[in-house]
Structure 1
């Protein structure tokens, strides 16, 4: 654009969204938070509400297709709503209750119990994280048999984090983020949570694999995600092994790294120089590469 050119900027009127949150037995929660997210555009806004009889409002919202995720002490819920430019939308979100979840934390390679790992749940679509301000219930930390118990978990699709037992602590095992579906039962027994052992120690020299991975597509469902090669360094370990741009990796050393297990990719590829990795590809091939010096 040349200096001094005339520019016309057209502003579009924002829309708005009002809604109501309902408890399982009727009525609205006293205290709750609402997150509005458009996965396609990355637009996201969050607000908290108190003593509104479950009513909430977002006065300025752009056009888009939104997931409305609600968290309250009594439960969690979500709904979807699409808004056209300038439209005033309405939505109702029914909360599912909370339950107690039990399970075990096991080593990915050996299947042995992993003690000292804390497990936390959050509603899917909202980040689950552990901070120094969190109260630690000892039942949430895996015992000698790897068992844990977490109370007040929202029913439905959940995000799960498994990490060292206390904030800032280190562990021989990696932190993982995965997903689970929590049934509407009083007590839910979850399938074992498998955590990889750290392959790279603090005094190890980190190896280079010679490839860069594609960023996840936010519009792609989590179950369809696969680590995909975006760049192969000429002459590097990946190139010598025969990897190509566009290759989707489905397993590393026999461990699934797709869908809910995509988090394993980073853990299994953080390795010392000289480590040999066997990669299984979606195109049916299997390749072996050796981590080189950076």
Structure 2
């Protein structure tokens, strides 16, 4: 891992150096047709997409290839298809996805690099540790690469902060502390140590108003910034895909509902069942019953938009 300008970077380990890549330009152009038509039909989306792409250039994450170099590096050049993705929970944000799994002649960009071991903590373990007892708790997100700074600066890491590494899942941290003072102390230490490695912890949220008051408003989660922590109740926040009721310090589930009055269809059943994210299995007794009803409707071999049977609608 290299360090430059206060940041860290590491190269992918290639299977072959230099690589031997086929010319995938035509494939990439064909893949571009779909996103192009979508963007032409939606000018606001096209504008946001262009802004996100320009942001990659402005931040130095990407750079323009000089025209005279476009065709001078055969077998080591690769055209990367990309398309917009919008999270229904964050409709205002457009994410550009670069498809490194796209193949050309049985070759993809992913196939040219070696895959290392999975260093992520187990999702189930992180969630169980987070909710093991009623404590001051807070999901924190918006950073990557905490493990390395924690190891490189172990001399300034108290034990409880080193242990915090076990509470990260990818770039989200979920951790519980015994008191607000402990949480405030840990938050300050975490922000300091990760900054030594060039990382920034942001999007802080917690069920402790004292802890939130100790975090600069610019570093708090967007929805937490917009509430008066002295007067208004806390909001339900998402952490690692799981809803957390910050006011009650409980996990919550938001279920999609279809409009009342019309017939319930098999498509409606699948929509509701698929909308429930329950990695800890708390809702299994209810979801199994719903899936049994859906399975029975599949056996009837009716259309997706035809009404389900009266008996199943009553059970549903």
**TM interval, short-chain normalised:** under 0.3
Provide the TM-score with structure 1 as the length reference: 0.23
Which is richer in strand? Answer: 1
Which is richer in helix? Answer: 2
Provide the TM-score with structure 2 as the length reference: 0.22
Q: Of the two, which has the highest radius of gyration?
A: 2
